[in-house]
Chain A
Amino acid sequence: MTFNAAEVFVQGPIDPALARECAEAIGANPAVGAHLLFLGQIRADRLDAGVVRGIEYTAHQTMAQGAFTALVDRAAAAGGLLEVTIRHSLGYVPVGGASLLIAVGAGHRDEAYRLSRDILEAIKKEVPIYGREITEDDQSRWKVNR
């Protein structure tokens, strides 16, 4: 398994074609029996300020890269992680665009589901990324993770 935190951030929405590339890359590992792909997409939430049209992402990029490496190392140490790809957007992502991709390959489905969820929750808690929700009439509010 190789993971390069320097490749995680992409400008703007994540190209859905990357999902196919991940499936092919993970599928090339003959020990993999289960792939799991998670895509986080921007919702048109209705806020007090209006309806969300997109989210602008910023980050402390070097600290974020360290946090991505640490959480993948921890997932790998827990066992079962054979392949992993993570992408997260920076900059503006409109409603309907994907801002987070997590693709994992594991031997079995239980491991794949657990690993994908663990990595997702760790990203939300441990990586210094910030989203500003922007409404259709250009009001904005800093996103809060629940």
Chain B
Amino acid sequence: MSDQGLTGVRIRYFGPLLDVTGTPQETVSLRLPDTVAGVNRQLWQHRPGLAGVDYRLAVDETLREGEEAVATAREIALLPPFSGG
């Protein structure tokens, strides 16, 4: 799973992000541990269209913020503002 500090993480995209990425999910090699902000920067390198888009990040189904550490992750979900109801 880990190769020179890289971990394959399942990235899931929701709502308007589907239009940005064109796919609901993919596996991305991330360098972990990192902060949430750092993970975002890694994702923006992989998908430049994500930079500047409004979304929150859920690591293994828990919402996480800016400088919180992400030690490991099996799944990261990118969640734009919700629009249910």
Identify which of residues 95-146 in chain A touch chain B, using a CB-to-CB cut-off of 8 Å: 99-100, 120, 123-131, 142-145
Bound form: Cα–Cα A58–B25 in Å: 14
Contact check, B16 vs A88: say whether CB atoms are below 8 A apart: no
Bound form: Cα–Cα A99–B79 in Å: 21
User: Is chain A's interface secondary structure helix, strand, loop, or mixed overall?
Assistant: mixed
Q: Which residues of A contact B83 (CB under 8 A)?
A: 124, 129-131, 142-145
| A interface residues, how many (CB within 8 angstroms) | 26
Contact check, B85 vs A40: say whether CB atoms are below 8 A apart: yes
Chain B nearest CB, measured from A68 CB (Å) = 10
Bound form: Cα–Cα A128–B19 in Å: 17
Bound form: Cα–Cα A100–B61 in Å: 23
Residue A46 at the chain B interface, CB threshold 8 Å: no
Q: A60-B14, A130-B14 are in contact. Are A123 and B84 (CB under 8 A)?
A: yes
Apart from A62-B61, A145-B84, what are 11 other A-B pairs with CB-CB below 8 Å? A58-B14, A58-B15, A60-B58, A88-B85, A124-B84, A124-B85, A127-B82, A128-B77, A130-B80, A130-B84, A145-B82
Residue positions of B touching A, CB distance < 8 A: 12, 14-16, 19, 58, 61, 77, 79-85
Residue positions of A touching B, CB distance < 8 A: 40, 57-60, 62-64, 66, 88, 99-100, 120, 123-131, 142-145
Task: Supply 22 A–B pairs (Cβ within 8 Å), ascending by A.
Answer: A57-B84, A59-B14, A60-B14, A60-B77, A63-B61, A63-B79, A88-B85, A99-B85, A123-B85, A125-B82, A126-B82, A128-B14, A128-B58, A128-B77, A130-B80, A130-B83, A131-B83, A131-B84, A142-B19, A142-B80, A142-B83, A145-B83
